[in-house]
Chains A and B, each alone.
Chain A
Amino acid sequence: MDYGLLSSIIHSILVASTPLVFAGLGALIQERAGVLNLGIEGLMIVGALAGFATAVAGSPLLVSIFAAALAGAMLASVFALLVLKLYANPVATGLALTLFGLGLAALAGSQYVGQAAPQVAAWNLPFLSQIPVVGPALFSHDPLVYLSIFTAFVIWWFLTKSRSGLILRAVGENHTSAHALGFSVRGVRFLAIICGGALAGIGGSYLTLVQTPLFVEGMTAGRGWIALALVVFASWRPFRVIAGAYLFGSVSIIQLHGQALGVSIASQWLSMLPYIVTIGALVIIAGRNDLTQKPPGALGSIFRESK
């Protein structure tokens, strides 16, 4: 076995998966609060453009990430307004968000097509990155890879260990009861949508800042939808989102290496793999009959104070 190749494959799997980790966590935090947001794809591409535009203008990485998060959060606030204040149908509003986001990014991004963003330097973690094979595969990445794992840890801690996280879950399970207990259902959901939008934006920016330092119309190519499927696959748990994302990342990398290794079938067949695997995962998960792995009780329902 060629260890150098193995370590570079693992490295590229992590790079391919990181946008899905961010976007999946962004969808997860909203769904645990009972909000089904089908606009992740639109939030991602807007984040991708915002991150790219700032990077091309010469901003440091931190500013680009912040800009992507801000763009995602701003677009998500439109969703929040429609769903929480105007009682709009959440499924259709999410779709509108995706269509609008894709169009907006294509329109505003047309001036950036053909430009390249500066390369993001890797952070070689001290000592760990010196370990042969494992070091270059896992511990010499750009800062966003570490940030994605840290975010999952923070969300896990927030949901399971903090009082605010408990309130958020209560709102997601049964908004009527949570409201009766005096919690602000709208307030909690608004914050969840904003955070989710910001995370989806960061996920999108990873595409343009690290994966391919270019901006192309529609470059998210369904990753926002895969992220939504991942949350179901992960039965609404943050660490399982990471595991799922890495699994999907592996599938897309196998597809690339398959071509390099001279698998003689049309590349499109291999490109179908991530989508088919997603369908397979959805079927397997939906067939499970375990009460601890069910979706949040109030997911996708509209909240109104009863008079």
Chain B
Amino acid sequence: MIMIEARAVIRWYHEWIAVFIALLLTAVTVSVLLSSLGLDPISSLQRIFIRPLNSVYGVSELLAKATPLITIGVALALGFRAGIWNIGAEGQLVMGGLCGGAVALAFWNIDGFWVMPLILLGGTLGGLAWGAIPAFLKVRFNANEILVSLMLTYVAILLLSVMVHGPLRDPTGFNFPESRLFHDDATLPKLFPAGRGHLGFVFALIFAVLGTWVVKRWHLGFEMRVTGLSTTAAKFAGYNRDRTVWMALLIGGGMSGFAGVVEVTGNIGQLVPNISPSYGFTAIIVAFLARLHPLAVIPAGLLVALSYLAGEAAQLSLGIPAASTQVFQGLLLFFLLGASLLVNYRIRFWRVA
């Protein structure tokens, strides 16, 4: 007979054992899927997960993909701790890219060291504004932040499309839905001679450290955590729930917006209709993989970024559609959520007499 009972004390290694088991189960499932497609799982896994990292170019690409995932993942980890489900990070990222990109285009023929900070500020404010809408509607009208932030994602993507097809289109670009290319002072420097890894990755690392500091040392972080664990306890402690809602969504919006403008200026170099392969949604997986610890978001973000490279490699070398990335990511999240049982409960086996 199998019995489960709540753990009295949760130790740190319980969490990481659960994460390890989830990764293992994902690897096994992916192997089974690969062999069901008639491929040799070991050599295929090696081809899609290891080989992309065999060069400076590969590592650089990995860092480029991990940059938005880590930046947003840190913000979501803070928000999820507070029990605020900001599912619209993708929309906030797009708004960040759009607003930052608009600033960059406004200065398209003006150079100066001050242009870049202005662009980053513009993008951050764009995302912040997009995060403020669900926060306001939640605090003022108690509207569900999950659905509002998600609906705003679709609106943001359409807004970007309008702008790139209209006002922000490159006037010399033969009517292609693309903006002008940003000039050198409006793009983030690259980290390596090859690949697209850029300075944004360093920002992401700083955010992860700052996030850890907020969670561990700031009273605000403690307040958000208590609110997430028990609204009743937070009420008795005199914590203001509205403030938590605002903080969670403004941090989420601002940092997603920052991730968006960094993606546009560091990686793409212009505005296009599609600036993100669902980084905002994937960052949710990153936050859970890190078990909502901001510092652990760094390895989690790198690992999930690898799944994007793996998807591209699977398409090129195995002929599997790139959507396999999403399947892999979805599986990983399922196993992570299932395995979290092992964190909070212990499982006992004994024989029925």
Contacts and interface: CB of A to CB of B under 8 A. Distances in A.
B237 interface: no
Q: Is the interface of B mostly helix, strand, loop or mixed?
A: helix
A155 to B, nearest CB: 22
A231 B284 CA distance: 25
A22 B180 CA distance: 45
A100 B333 contact: yes
A91 interface: yes
A229 B155 contact: no
B33 to A, nearest CB: 9
Given A229-B147, A278-B151, A279-B151, A268 B337 contact: no
A225 B150 contact: yes
Interface stretch (A80-88, A141-149, A184-192): A80-88
Contacts of A100: 326-327, 330-331, 333-334
Nearest to B161: A268
Contact of B87 (A88, A95, A229): A95
Contact of A107 (B143, B146, B147, B323): B323
Contacts of B239: none
A173 B162 CA distance: 45
Contacts of B282: 99
Contacts of B141: 283, 286-287
Interface in A215-243: 217, 221-222, 225-226, 228-229, 232
A38 B321 contact: no
Contacts of B299: none
Given A228-B147, A232-B144, A282-B144, A268 B327 contact: no
Contacts of A287: 141-142
Contacts of B345: 87
Contacts of B331: 100
Interface stretch (A11-19, A63-71, A269-277): A269-277
A89 interface: yes
Nearest to A225: B150
A25 B156 CA distance: 28
A110 B321 contact: yes
A297 interface: no
A211 to B, nearest CB: 18
Contacts of B337: 82, 86, 88-89, 92-93, 96
A223 B282 CA distance: 20
Q: Is the interface of A mostly helix, strand, loop or mixed?
A: helix
Interface string A87-130: 11101110111011111101100100000000000000000000
A279 B137 contact: yes
Nearest to B273: A268
Contacts of A260: none
Nearest to A103: B326
B148 interface: yes
A247 to B, nearest CB: 15
B20 interface: no
Nearest to A229: B147
Contacts of B92: none
B329 A82 contact: no
B31 interface: no
A89 B292 CA distance: 13
A62 interface: no
A279 B138 CA distance: 11
A110 B162 CA distance: 28
B144 A286 contact: yes
B340 A95 contact: no
A88 B341 CA distance: 7
A99 B341 CA distance: 21
Contacts of A101: 330
A78 interface: yes
A306 B85 CA distance: 28
B162 A269 contact: yes
A78 B334 contact: yes
Contact of B326 (A102, A229, A269): A102
Contacts of B344: 87
A99 B147 contact: no
A279 B333 contact: no
Contact of B158 (A87, A271, A282): A271
Interface string A183-214: 00000000000000000000000000000000
Interface in B315-353: 320-321, 323-331, 333-334, 337-338, 340-341, 344-345
Contacts of B146: 38, 91
Given A269-B162, A279-B148, A283-B141, A99 B155 contact: no
6 contacts: A86-B340, A99-B329, A104-B330, A106-B326, A107-B320, A286-B141
Closest 9 CB pairs of A and B: A103-B326, A100-B330, A106-B323, A96-B333, A88-B337, A103-B327, A275-B151, A110-B321, A268-B158
Given A82-B337, A89-B340, 19 more contacts: A86-B340, A95-B333, A96-B285, A96-B334, A99-B326, A99-B333, A100-B326, A102-B330, A103-B330, A107-B320, A110-B323, A222-B151, A232-B147, A266-B165, A275-B155, A276-B155, A283-B137, A286-B141, A286-B144
